[in-house]
């Protein structure tokens, strides 16, 4: 039969019929497979896939708990948290992320590059800055910047600012202590972090931010220090004045209770703003009174003299020939700052004779040898950490007796071949004048949290290092340093003061450096019944560098403030210190 193309219904051939049936079968099979897959996903494994989808859309972020307060001895605030906001950026909602960051940077100070790194590393809900003020936070909320979210947070504030920055410390971006008490007691101060749950929809838009009830942050413990804010601030002002007046590189001060070793102030300058520690120079963060050690120079002489008196190998009325200012021993020429012919034992310390003290050292060595001499120096706490519990404490330097030479027994009595921290020196002086008891330092009194409290930092029993009789003599001797000797600039009108000057040339790489000195003064008041010991070190002053010039005036100011802060009544009118026991 001929095929007519004009026919409306062309005939169906057997081949075409087979192809149509095959195509229909394929479609039917595909539908069956799709229905089966849907049944498998939605019915058999529906819960599993729903959970996976939810997991992909929900993220959990941590927020810090309120940090415990740091308080002074009177309950005044040294550090605390105040309400604030943290700024977060949800990048999928931010549109032009770079433009958003630029807008934020004009309203909030933050590390733009650090935020960009977090975004490049795949962050979606990215922290921008913590601890912004409530006012700034409310202003940002009003602007409704796309992708910007504000969450409740805390901001750490430090009422004493630079005056206590190295002691109290600071916290970093993540809220952890960086230095000082903040770092040393991180475990107690840190609160329990809370959890923020964020959820986004299928279009990656943020639809929920929630703090779970069981994930609320909890506050840390409050720390009560023995420090007194008034004394801390007064010491900082005195150091700043001394550093400026004498063009010094740095200065440090320690104030302790002479009777029990409580720390009333630990101060150093230059300092830094604890609210912005990222800009601080590493030297400013260091707590110098604890971490730095220097040769003490003449301020070490009273320890050797006290030991000689305790051993009974010198008498107070004994005369010492001081060579008219120069004396040679085993090829080494020793000098005094001023020439003296004969000085009695009192005046060897009062006039700070290097030659007289070298001869006292030789006499101790004749009786005890290197080992015994080393033991009496170590007994005052030198050559080991005090245990104050702050980061970076130095043990100072006291060489083993096996490394001593014949020069050592004349150098150490002059404050050479030994290095001490200002805190070590303060504790040692307290033992010299409080009746002979060496106390461990006490900085933290207790922690508190609600109704709970626990005492902290209570050291063991003090060690007796000299007798009451010798301690009484040293008090009088050191008061005469202030009334008759090199410490006149430490005198107060209403309080009797004792103390000792020190001047030491700095060594670098084991070699003394021309023009680099440390001037120091250790003072105590009232001299007849010591309540406070204060030590000041002035590091690398300019042309004037003697301790009696650069450090004694600062000690005077700090002692005056300490007496007033503690409510110590003025010393009764008294004659010159007695010259005999």
Continuous segment of H or E residues that includes residue 37: helix 14-39
Region of 405 on the Ramachandran plot (φ > 0 left; ψ -120 to 50 alpha; else beta): beta
**What's the CA dihedral at 298, 299, 300, 306 to 10 degrees?**
110
Q: How far apart are CA 115 and CA 85, in angstroms?
A: 17
Provide the H-helix boundaries in 434-551: 468-484, 547-550
Beta pairing class for 222-225 and 70-71: parallel
Tokens of 207: 């639809």
520 is catalytic: no
- Closest residue by Cα to residue 552 from 486, 484, 495: 486
Q: How far apart are CA 261 and CA 430, in angstroms?
A: 8
**3-class SS of residue 130:** strand
Sequence-distant (6+) residues with CB within 8 A of 522 are 299, 425, 426, 429, 499, 500, 502, 533, 534, 535, 555
| Residue 502 Cα to chain centre, angstroms | 26
As beta bridge partners, residue 252 has 268, 537
Largest CA distance in the chain: 154
Q: What is the CA radius of gyration of the chain?
A: 37
Phi, psi of 264 (to 5 degrees): -100, -25
* Annotated active-site residue in 86, 291, 298, 352: 298
Which residues are known catalytic residues?
A: 298
């Amino acid at each position: 039969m001929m095929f007519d193309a004009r026919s409306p219904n062309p005939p169906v051939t057997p081949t075409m019929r087979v192809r149509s049936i095959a195509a229909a079968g394929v479609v039917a099979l595909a539908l069956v497979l799709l229905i089966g897959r849907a049944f498998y996903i939605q019915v058999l494994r529906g819960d599993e896939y729903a959970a996976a989808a939810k997991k992909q859309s929900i993220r959990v972020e941590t927020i810090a708990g309120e940090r415990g307060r740091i308080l002074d001895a009177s309950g005044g605030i040294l550090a605390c948290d105040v309400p604030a906001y943290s700024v977060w950026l949800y990048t999928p909602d931010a549109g032009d992320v770079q433009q958003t960051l630029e807008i934020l940077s004009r309203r909030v100070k933050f590390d733009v590059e650090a935020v960009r790194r977090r975004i490049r590393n795949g962050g979606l809900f990215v922290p921008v800055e913590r601890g912004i003020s409530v006012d700034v936070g409310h202003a940002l909320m009003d602007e409704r910047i796309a992708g910007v979210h504000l969450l409740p947070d805390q901001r750490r504030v430090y009422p004493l600012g630079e005056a206590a920055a190295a002691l109290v410390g600071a916290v970093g971006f993540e809220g952890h202590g960086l230095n000082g008490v903040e770092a040393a007691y991180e475990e107690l101060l840190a609160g329990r972090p809370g959890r923020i749950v964020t959820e986004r929809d299928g279009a990656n838009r943020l639809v929920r931010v929630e703090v779970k009830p069981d994930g609320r942050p909890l506050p840390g413990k409050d720390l009560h220090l023995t420090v007194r804010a008034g004394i801390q601030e007064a010491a900082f002002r005195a150091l700043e004045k001394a550093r400026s007046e004498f063009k010094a590189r740095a200065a440090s001060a320690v104030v302790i209770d002479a009777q029990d070793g409580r720390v009333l102030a630990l101060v150093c300058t230059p300092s830094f703003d604890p609210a912005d520690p990222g800009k601080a120079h590493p030297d400013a963060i260091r707590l110098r009174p604890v971490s730095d050690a220097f040769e003490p120079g003449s301020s070490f002489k009273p320890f050797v003299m006290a030991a000689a008196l305790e051993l009974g190998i010198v008498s107070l009325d004994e005369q010492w020939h001081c060579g008219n200012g120069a004396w040679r021993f085993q090829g080494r020429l020793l000098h005094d700052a001023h020439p003296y012919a004969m000085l009695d034992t009192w005046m060897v310390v009062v006039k700070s004779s290097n030659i007289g003290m070298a001869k006292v050292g030789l006499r101790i060595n004749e009786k005890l040898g290197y080992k015994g001499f080393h033991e009496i120096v170590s007994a005052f706490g030198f050559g080991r950490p005090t245990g104050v519990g702050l980061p970076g404490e130095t043990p100072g330097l006291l060489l083993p007796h096996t490394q001593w030479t014949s020069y050592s027994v004349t150098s150490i009595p002059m404050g050479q071949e030994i290095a001490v921290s200002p805190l070590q020196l303060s504790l040692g002086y307290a033992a010299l004048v409080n009746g002979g008891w060496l106390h461990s330092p006490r900085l933290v009194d207790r922690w508190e949290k609600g109704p709970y409290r626990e005492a902290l930092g209570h050291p063991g029993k003090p060690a007796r290092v000299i007798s009451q009789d010798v301690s009484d003599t040293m008090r009088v001797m050191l008061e005469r340093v202030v009334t008759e000797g090199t410490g006149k600039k430490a005198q107060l009108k209403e309080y009797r003061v004792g103390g000792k000057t020190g001047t030491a040339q700095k060594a670098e790489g084991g070699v003394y450096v021309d023009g680099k000195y440390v001037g120091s003064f250790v003072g105590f008041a009232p001299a007849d019944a010591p309540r406070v010991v204060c030590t000041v070190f002035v590091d690398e002053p300019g042309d004037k560098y003697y301790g009696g010039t650069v450090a004694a005036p600062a000690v005077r100011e700090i002692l005056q403030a300490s007496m007033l802060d503690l409510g110590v009544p003025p010393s009764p009118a008294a004659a010159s210190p007695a010259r005999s026991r």
